[in-house]
Amino acid sequence: RVGPIEADRYIPADVFQATTTLLYFHGGGYVFGNPGTHRQFIAQLVHATGAGAVAPRYRLAPRHRYPAAVDDAQAAYEALLEAGIDPGRIVVAGDSAGGGLAVALLLRLRRTGLPLPAGAMLFSPYVDLVHDGYTIRTNARTDYLPAALMTKPNDTYAGPDQLTDPEVSPVYGDLTGLPPMLIFAGGAEMILSDSIRLAEHAARVGVEAELVIEKE
C-alpha cells in the first residue's frame, strides 16, 4: 500500500538503491485497467530507467467519478513524501488516462501548495475529455480504438459541466509553474492532438516540454 491506496511496487534488480521513484498511473479511460494490466510495461520502464516505481490502484468510473481518481493520486503522492522521498526524486508518469491523471495531479499539487515532483513522463496522455481534438477525426481509421468511443464527450468519468475543469481535462488548464514534461505519442492515434496541444500550452507558459511523436 502507498498510504491508503493499494499499489504495485517495482524495484530494479540491477541497481543497489534506486535514487528516483516513478509514480505511475495506468491507462484505461478512467473506467478500466489496474496496475496488473500494465505490469509488463512498467517493469520495462523500470529496467530502462533504473528507477523504482509505485503504481497505485486508483478508483475508477462509473462507480467512482471525478474527483476520486485525482484524490487517490494525491493521497499516493503524499504517502511518498511522508515516507521521506524527496519530491525532487519523484517523477509522475502514466499512459492515456493515466497520463492525464498525472498532469491533473500536478495541477492539484500546485493549487494546494504541495511540493512538485521533478517532472512528468507521459505516454499518449488523455487530457481532453471533451474530445475536441482534430486527430480524433483525421486518425479515426488508423487507431485501434473504436471511433464511436470518441465521437462524444466522456461523461462517464465526469459530468458535462466538469469536462473542461483542468483536473478533468488538463489541456484547458493553466500549466504555469509545472515541472518539465517528456511526452510520447503515436502519429496514428486519435488522441495525438491531446499531446500536441499539451506540449504547446506548456511551452507557451515557459514549461519545458519535449514531445516525441512516433510515425506509427
- Residue from 124, 167, 169, 189 carrying the catalytic annotation: 189
* DSSP-based three-state secondary structure for 10: strand
Q: Please calculate the CA angle 74-195-76 and round it to the nearest 5 degrees.
A: 10
Catalytic annotation on 96? yes
Contact partners, residue 141, CB within 8 Å, separation at least 6? none
Distance of CA 33 to the CA centre of its chain: 14
Q: Please tell me the distance from the alpha carbon of residue 157 to that of residue 97, in angstroms, as a whole number.
A: 11
Catalytic annotation on 6? no
- Residue from 96, 124, 169, 193 carrying the catalytic annotation: 96
Strands laid side by side in the 7-10 sheet: 7-10, 52-56, 21-25, 90-95, 119-123, 181-186, 209-214
Give the active site residues.
Answer: 96, 189
